[in-house]
Chains A and B, each alone.
Chain A
C-alpha cells in the first residue's frame, strides 16, 4: 500500500491501472495509453501530479541561498511569478534533482521537485538553508493538476475565479499567478501548451470532475512518459542522477556560468568537466523495426559504446525514439544492440515533437 493523492478515488472511478511510483499509488493509464497521448497532442488531457513535492522558501536571504543552491541563477528572474528550470547539484557536480523554481519576490520562492527524490531533496535543502536563515516549508496539503494540450487552457479556465480568469489566460509561457486559492502556471512536461494548477487538496476532486465533464482526457504516467520523451525533456533517474552532471545529460543550457564569481554547489567540478569535454547527449530515431529502451547499448564504429538513457515508442511519429549518451565525435549514424541484434539508429536534433508537430525528418 503506497501513498495516495487526494484524487486516488477519482482514478479508480476512471478505471485507472495503478502502479507504484516512488512510493505513491499512481495511475499509469486509464485505458489506451496511446489515446491518452494523442488527446494531449490534439485536444487536452489532465494528469494528477499531486505526488510532486512543493516547497516554499521564505527569508531575507532567500535569493542568495538559491543562487548558491541551484546551478541556474535565480537572479536572472526578476518578473514576479516567473518560473525557471534548473538542476540542484551535489558537491561532485552530479544532479541531486531537476526542479522548477518560481520567483515571487527576492525573499520568497517556490520549488517543485520530484516525488521519488523528496526525502534527499528536503534534507539537502534544509541542511543548506540554515546558514542563510531561510525557512523551508513543504506544502503537502496542496494538490497539483497538469492540464495539457492545445485546448487545455480554454477548458481549464472555468476553474479559475472569474476575477482572475483573464489574467490567467494572459499568462506567458513559464509564468505563474496566484489566483485566489489556486496557483496557476503556464508550464508542463509534455511539449504542449497548458497549465499546471496547484490547489488545496480538498478542492482537487471537484476540479478533476469539472475537467472530465468538459471533455478533458484523464492521462496516466505512461502517456506522461511518452509525451515528455517526444518533447526531449529529461527524466530524473533515467537521463541523469547523482552520478551524472548536467553537462552529460544535455542540460548545459540550464547552468548559469555568468557571473563567473557566483559560487554555487558543484561549480568547480562542473567547470573541470566543461574544460575536459565529455560524451554527447543526443536524440535517436530507430531506422529499423523494434523499440529502443533505456540501457540498450549504442555502438559507434571506431569511437566506442554509448547507452540509451530513455527510450520508447513515439505514438506521434509512429517510430521508436530515444535519448542517449554517446561518445564524443562528429557522426550521424550508429547502431543499437537490441537483444543481440545490431540495428541502425540516426542522431536527430531534438525535440522530436513540439506543439503537435513532428520536428524531425522521418
Chain B
C-alpha cells in the first residue's frame, strides 16, 4: 500500500512536490510510482540553472523494467539536483519522499499550480487505478 505524507502536493503523473520555507519546492516521485517501476538503476538529472516549463521533461528514471519521464509539476528554475542518485538510484525505492528526492526548483513568478492535488485527491486517483 502507498503511504501518503500529508504535507505534500501531488500530480496525476505521480510526482510529489514539497514547499520549502525559502519559497523553493522539492520534487520527487511517489511511492506508488517507484513501486510500479521496480528497482531503479539510473536517473538522468537536469542541470542546475535549467529552466523548466510546467509538465516539461525534468528527469528520466530508469528501472530494471523501463525508462520513465519525470515532468516538472510547476514552472521554474532548477536550483539543486540530488547528485547522490547517480551512485545510488535505489534511494528512490527505499525513501521516495526523503533521500530519494530528485530536484529542487525555484518556481517562476505566478507559476500555475492549479493542477496540483491534495493528498486526499491523489489517494482517490490511486484508488481509481486499483479498482
Query: Which residues of A are at the interface with B, using a C-beta cutoff of 8 A?
Result: 17, 28-29, 32-34, 37, 222, 226, 289-291, 293, 312-313, 315, 320, 339
Contact = CB atoms under 8 A, between A and B. Distances in A.
B86 A289 contact: yes
A348 to B, nearest CB: 19
B64 A226 contact: yes
23 contacts: A17-B36, A28-B38, A28-B65, A32-B38, A32-B39, A33-B39, A33-B64, A34-B39, A37-B64, A222-B64, A226-B64, A290-B42, A291-B42, A291-B62, A291-B67, A293-B67, A312-B64, A313-B41, A313-B42, A313-B62, A313-B64, A320-B41, A339-B60
Nearest to A28: B65
Interface in B9-62: 36, 38-39, 41-42, 44, 60, 62
A33 B62 contact: no
Contact of B64 (A34, A289, A339): A34
Given A313-B42, A339-B60, 8 more contacts: A28-B65, A34-B64, A37-B64, A291-B41, A293-B67, A313-B41, A315-B64, A339-B44
B16 to A, nearest CB: 21
B78 to A, nearest CB: 18
A33 B41 CA distance: 11
Interface residues of B toward A: which range?
Answer: 10 to 19
Contacts of A28: 38, 65
A314 to B, nearest CB: 9
Nearest to A290: B42
Nearest to A286: B42
Contacts of A32: 38-39
A contacts with B: majority SS: mixed
Given A28-B65, A291-B62, A222 B42 contact: no
Nearest to B87: A289
Contacts of A34: 39, 64
A233 B69 CA distance: 29
A203 to B, nearest CB: 31
Contacts of B42: 289-291, 313, 320
Nearest to B57: A339
Contacts of B62: 290-291, 313
A34 B36 CA distance: 14
Interface string B61-77: 01011010000000000
Nearest to B39: A34
B86 A33 contact: no
Nearest to B41: A313
B82 to A, nearest CB: 15
Contacts of A312: 64
A129 B103 CA distance: 61
Interface in B102-117: none
Nearest to A34: B39
Given A289-B86, A290-B44, A33 B60 contact: no
Contacts of A320: 41-42
A37 B62 CA distance: 17
Contacts of A291: 41-42, 62, 67
Contacts of A222: 38, 64-65
Contacts of B86: 289
A153 to B, nearest CB: 27
Q: What 5 pairs across the A-B complex have the smallest Cβ distances? A: A313-B41, A291-B62, A34-B39, A33-B64, A33-B38
A226 B41 CA distance: 13
A225 B74 CA distance: 37
A29 B41 contact: no
B67 A29 contact: no
Contacts of A37: 64
Contacts of B60: 339
A290 B43 CA distance: 8
B44 to A, nearest CB: 7
Nearest to A19: B65
A33 B67 contact: no
Nearest to A339: B60
